[in-house]
Amino acid sequence: MPRVKTCPPLFSPFPIFVDTFRYPDYIHTMKEMKPIPYRHRPKGLTILYEDKDIIVIDKSSGLLTVKATYEKEKTAHHILTTYIRKGSLKSKKELFVVHRLDRDTSGVLVFAKSFEAKENLKLQWKSVKKIYVAVVHGILTEKSGTITSYLAENEDYEVSSVKDPGKGELAKTRYKVIKEAKKFSLLEIELLTGKKNQIRVHFSEKGHPLVGDDKYGKKGEPKSRLALHSHYLTFRHPHSGKELTFEAEVPGFFKSFFDNI
């Protein structure tokens, strides 16, 4: 993983994470952007990085990536579209969806500011490094490994593994245990494929569902946020081709399970 330095924020108080050690000239392209007035800056999410081609955020748990039938405005896409349009109803600026995080998953999420940037990121997405952190129930016998299965979705929008490869899509999840408590394990997970609910399904079927998962988790557990966080994302910039790594700090909720160890 490339060295990541914290740079002075362009639009205080938003932190920017970019590999300035390897690419010190990259900041110059960012300084060409005009500051956005405070009244138009997005609420409910944190901007990690922004330039003329992409915008990278730390999405909070509970916020949708894109609109759903039951919610059209309280989404990361809608909030950021309003932000780049500076509140103007006449603006035709668009924001393009590159990937999605589940509503209750927090962490790094990237959007493209042009169709060309979106297409570039889509083409390289299989090679993008996606690192998550999760808290699961129980102690895993195998402290590291790769879970492989074929996932399919039923009529109730529930995803599960199927034996027939022709009826599902290949899904691979690599993991390692980084900390344990009596009843919980903290995992670092690399998403090798990006299927719907992949991480949640794989660990549920392994007998170690994620904490706070009301869909695939333990029945009757106390209600809490989903313990799944998109920690790092590494990809090549769609215009410059430079490799960038973005980090969203792991929420304190995850650490609370292991404070007394």
Which residues are catalytically annotated?
A: 102
Strand-strand pairing, 243-247 and 184-191: unpaired
Q: Which amino acid is at 168?
A: G
